[in-house]
Amino acid sequence: MEWLKKRILEEGVVLSEQVLNLDAVLNHQVDPELMMEVGRQFAERFSAEPITKVITIESSGIPPAMATAYALGVPLIFARRKKTLGLEGESWCERVPSFTKGIVTDIVVSRKFLNENDNVLIIDDIIANGDAARGLIRIIEKSGAELAGLGVVVEKTFQAGARTIRELGIRVESLVGIADLSGGTICWSD
């Protein structure tokens, strides 16, 4: 993944020992060619799974999830962060703390788009504590769908999220791992 590491080094900004700003690559501006390659990487890694849908949470998960769904030839579902009027009772809903905003939000997926016939791949941009991913996992469990695994573009390995999800027996694939952000520099895990 040297191409991805190079872009992150060139355009990422270390904000603190915990947070890396990737607005130029992932979270605000998106390079479509880079993102399509991200999608091809995830599609290749999960090619043996009978995936019927890709799922993520709005908004930063959408570009990598969309690229992965395109590469797999399946629909993309993005969980919405608020209840949409009229969807109560027709939706799966979970309460999730937001790592970057420091607040708790409800994530909502319509029952119309997820059911026991689905085999779902979760894709997200960055994993920190794993709250967003665990919220989606709970929604998938409620719906009766199968979970194929979780793909994240950036895994911060110094935070517990990905590890706790692997400990649940769930396959987690990350394209790059960051072991440390202290001193204002990115230290890769591999």
| Contact set with ligand 5GP (CB under 6 A) | 19-22, 27, 60-61, 99-100, 124-132, 161
Q: Which pair of tokens denotes residue 94? A: 């979970």
Contact 57, 107 (CB under 8 A): yes
Parallel/antiparallel/unpaired status of strands 76-79 and 91-97: unpaired
Q: Which CB, 119 or 129, lies closer to ligand 5GP?
A: 129
Q: Which CB, 127 or 137, lies closer to ligand 5GP?
A: 127
What span, in angstroms and rounded, lies between the C-alpha atoms of 152 and 126? 6
119 burial level (CB within 10 Å; 0-12, 13-18, 19+): middle
Q: First CA to last CA across the chain, in angstroms?
A: 10
Shortest distance, CB of residue 85 to ligand 5GP, whole angstroms? 25
Please give the single-letter amino acid code of residue 11.
E
Shortest distance, CB of residue 148 to ligand 5GP, whole angstroms? 19
Shortest distance, CB of residue 101 to ligand 5GP, whole angstroms? 9
Q: Which CB, 112 or 163, lies closer to ligand 5GP?
A: 163
Shortest distance, CB of residue 78 to ligand 5GP, whole angstroms? 12
Q: Which CB, 118 or 125, lies closer to ligand 5GP?
A: 125
